[in-house]
Amino acid sequence: MKRGFALDRFVIERLGVALITLTAVLTVVPIIGVFGYIIARGAPAISWEFLTAMPRDGMRAGGILPAIVGTFYLTLGTAIFSVPLGIAAAIYLAEYARENWVTRLIRIAIINLAGIPSVVYGLFGLGLFVLFLKFGTSLLSASLTLSIMTLPVIISAAEEALRAVPQSFRTVSISLGGTRWQTVRKIVLPQALPGIITGVILGLERAAGETAPILFTGAAFFLPRLPNSPLDATMALPYHLFVISTQVPEMPIQIQYGTALVLIIFVLGMNLIATVIRSRARAKRQW
Amino acid sequence: MNKSPNWRETIITAVIRTCGYSAVVFVLLIFFFLLREGVPALAEVKLGELLTTRWYPIENHFGILPLLTGSLVVTLGAMLIAIPFGIGTAVFLAEIAPRWLREILKPLVELLGGLPSVVLGFLGILLLSPFLRVFLNLPTGLTALAGALLLGGIAVPTIVSIAEDALDSVPQSYREGALALGATKWQTIWRVTLPAARSGVLTALMLGIGRTIGETMAVMMVTGNAPVMADKLTSILSPVRTMTATIAAEMGEVANGSTYYHVLFFIGLVLFLISLVVNILASTVIFRSRKRAERVLS
């Protein structure tokens, strides 16, 4: 009786561990499959012309340059607005704010901002930037919309990086007569910088891959030239992939896979840079 | 000389404080604009009309129930996939996998989280839905099931990442204690580690659900976009249309300020309120766990 129970227990353990291992295998294998498949199918489409030429024949031939440049501009525009604001907000939360109801409210707002569906950001951008402020469907409206979406990611990551700087650094600076701002700017910020940069890149990576927020705020279906002012609409890689895979009949499959691969390289390249910065900073850290 | 740094200090503090409040301002602004553009829908279309089952805006039928049930069935399906696989993978990484394997697999799973959803939608159209059509012998593969499978894939990285952190932060002594009492690894996981990490795991699930409801592009590309009521068990195998996809697909074509436009904003308002509830629930779980951690430490 006792032995039977013991046996069952170990049989269950084996089955359980096997089941969990199976779920992990079934999760990881498709991920590798997805990346491998896009790389394998997309790589033959990538050529110098594909990366540097304008689209031709209703996007069925030529290159995707305006989409690549558009996504680059959108990412840059998002960075211009969200990075200073996000870092300043993080400095406030980590270095200035007291633990009271206002600070709790800010934290709840950040969590909620992070959870709002991306298409709702699109609606908001349409209501505020495109129509109310009359920026039109433009690079500017789309960048501003993406900035607000990126803000919670940057604030959370930067605050975490600032808080990781040991308290003793601040104490020493203050005791030498430094003001709060001098302490932040000369001591805390430089120490937290790698962590902040990592968070910023991860936030911008998300912005670069988003489609829904730019659908009605700045994305152009087809625009065979580069945007030459912030008030121009622009093509963008994710929206372009959506367009050529759903809206254009008889689209050569190779161009679709090529566009998907370029988008992935753009986004995951940023991810890789963030990872490298993080691991280098960890190796060099003085504390 | 002494005066000027003080001046600067005051201004800089004020600027930083203002930036600190920005998140609150933006949430309020978003809410305000959704109300401003969405509430007129209630004056132009009766609430009774909004709660009908017919979405056919060209003839002024604005029943949003098909869209609500569409979102619901896709989200439920996605969670049925994402919860076992997400938690299973998190447990595997935290409790079973050797350290070197975890260092490889966790970033790999998180890489999937960084994959733009439009790329998943693209693969969904080209690979997943033709496969489903042939495999299940359906008239079309663009179904709620295809959406649920993709959304499951989108929610898994969120769940794995946060749940694994929660499991990892359970003190090693808990496991050692259980094992020393003769528990098997499975009993330790099931009765000690998972319950100890419960609040973190719940947060992971809530945030996973949040991502699933709000996801737009992948869903729009593979669910077939037919605004029919999803009220039967077999609805999972037929085309549906979600709230997010409706906004994304139709906003480009409506006249600003029309009833149609207001109704789409109203749907956005509903989505905003759902995400608000989900995230506040998730964050109370976060706060509760923090308090408990403080009790344990003190």
CB-based contact, A247 to chain B, within 8 Å: no
| B154 near A CB under 8 A | no
- CB-based contact B270:B177 (threshold 8 Å): no
Residues of B numbered 40-69 whose beta carbons fall under 8 angstroms of chain A's beta carbons: which are they? none
User: What pLDDT does residue A1 have?
Assistant: 45
Is residue A20 within 8 A of residue B92, CB to CB? The reply is: yes
What per-residue confidence (pLDDT) applies to B265? 96
- Decide if B121 contacts B220 (C-beta within 8 A): yes
Does the beta carbon of B122 lie under 8 angstroms from any beta carbon of chain A? yes
Nearest CB partner across the interface for B156, out of A27, A120, A263: A27
B22, B92, B247 member nearest A119 (Cβ): B247
- How does DSSP classify residue B139? S
B164 at the A interface (CB within 8 A)? no
ipTM of this predicted complex? 0.89
Who contacts B30 (Cβ-Cβ below 8 Å, separation ≥6)?
A116, A120, A121, A124, A148, B272
| Distance (Å) from the alpha carbon of B159 to chain A's nearest alpha carbon | 12
pLDDT of the residue at B1: 44
| Contact between B246 and B223 (Cβ < 8 Å) | no
- Yes or no, beta carbons of B251 and A216 under 8 Å apart: yes
Partners of B55 in beta bridges: B62
pLDDT for B266: 95
Q: What is the pLDDT at residue B289? A: 59
CA distance B158 to B113: 7
The torsion angles phi and psi of B55, rounded to 5 degrees, stand at -105, 100
pLDDT of A286 reads 67
**What DSSP element (H or E) covers B111?**
helix B99-114
pLDDT at A175: 92
Angstroms from A109 CA to nearest CA on chain B: 5
Q: pLDDT confidence of B287, banded at 50, 70, 90? A: low
pLDDT at residue A262 is higher than 90: yes
| DSSP string covering B12-61 | HHHHHHHHHHHHHHHHHHHHHHHHHHHTHHHHHS-HHHHTSS-EEGGGTE
Residue A248, chain B, CB below 8 Å: the answer is no
Q: In this complex, which of A117, A216, A246 lies closest to B214 when CB atoms are compared?
A: A117
Nearest by CB to residue A117, choosing from B21, B121, B271, is B271
Is residue B252 very low, low, confident or very high in pLDDT (cuts 50, 70, 90)? confident
Instruction: Identify all chain A residues contacting B268, using CB atoms and an 8 Å cutoff.
Output: 119-120, 123
Chain A interface, mutation test: which of B13, B30, B32, B164, most A Cβ atoms within 10 Å?
Answer: B30
What would the two tokens of residue A138 be? 């433009």
Q: How far apart are CA B156 and CA B161, in angstroms?
A: 8
Confirm or reject contact between A120 and chain B (CB < 8 A). yes
Q: What is the mean pLDDT of chain B?
A: 88
The percent of residues above 70 in pLDDT, for chain A, comes to 97
CA distance B89 to B164: 8
Q: Which residues of B91-103 are buried (b: 16+ CB within 10 A; e: fewer)?
A: bbbbbbbeeeebe
Q: Quick one: pLDDT at residue A224?
A: 82
Distance CA B78, CA B74 (A): 6
d(CA A127, CA A146): 14
Q: Tally C-beta pairs within 8 A across A and B.
A: 257
pLDDT at A257 (0 to 100): 95
Hey, are the CB atoms on A123 and B34 less than 8 Å from each other?
A: yes
Q: How far apart, in whole angstroms, are the C-alpha atoms of residue B116 and residue B118?
A: 5
At residue A189, does pLDDT exceed 90?
A: yes
Q: In chain A, which residue's Cα lies nearest the Cα of B256?
A: A131
CB-based contact, B96 to chain A, within 8 Å: yes
Two tokens, residue A13:
């353990």
Q: Which of A3-7, A135-139, A227-231 has the highest mean pLDDT?
A: A135-139
A152 touches B: beta carbon within 8 Å:
yes
pLDDT digits (tens, 9 = 90+) for A90-124: 999 999 998 899 999 999 999 999 999 999 999 99
CA distance B173 to chain A (A): 20
Sign of CA dihedral B262, B263, B264, B270: positive
> Can you tell me which residue has the tokens 């109310």?
A132
Query: Given this model, what pLDDT does residue A88 score?
Result: 96
Segment A20-75, tens digit of pLDDT: 999 999 999 999 999 999 999 999 999 999 999 888 888 888 889 999 999 999 99
Query: Over 80: is that where the pLDDT of A223 sits?
Result: yes
**Closest Cβ opposite residue B221 in set A91, A246, A263:** A246
Q: Tell me the chain B residues in contact with residue A115 when contact means C-beta distances shorter than 8 Å.
A: 207, 210, 214, 275-276, 278-279, 282
Q: Read off the pLDDT of residues B42-89 as tens digits, 9 standing for 90 and up.
A: 988 888 888 888 888 888 889 889 999 999 999 999 999 999 999 999
For residue B157, give the chain A residue with the closest CA. Answer: A27
Show residues of chain A in contact with B186, CB under 8 Å. 12-13, 16-17
A110, A124, A150, B23 from B28: Cα distances, Å? 12, 11, 17, 9
Which chain A residues in 46-105 lie under 8 Å from chain B, judged by CB atoms?
84-85, 88-89, 91-93, 96-97, 105
* Residue-level pLDDT at B298: 41
Secondary structure of chain B: what % helix, strand, coil (to 5)? 80, 0, 20
Q: Say yes or no for a CB contact (<8 Å) between A26 and B85.
A: yes
Q: Which of A10, A26, A115 sits opposite B275 (nearest CB)?
A: A115
Task: Kindly report, residue by residue over B257-284, the tens digit of the pLDDT.
Answer: 899 999 999 999 999 999 999 888 887 7
More confidently predicted of B228 and B17: B17
With CB atoms and an 8 Å threshold, state whether A13 touches B187: yes
CA of B66 vs chain A CAs: smallest distance (Å): 19
pTM: 0.91
Which residues pair with residue B240 across a beta bridge?
B224
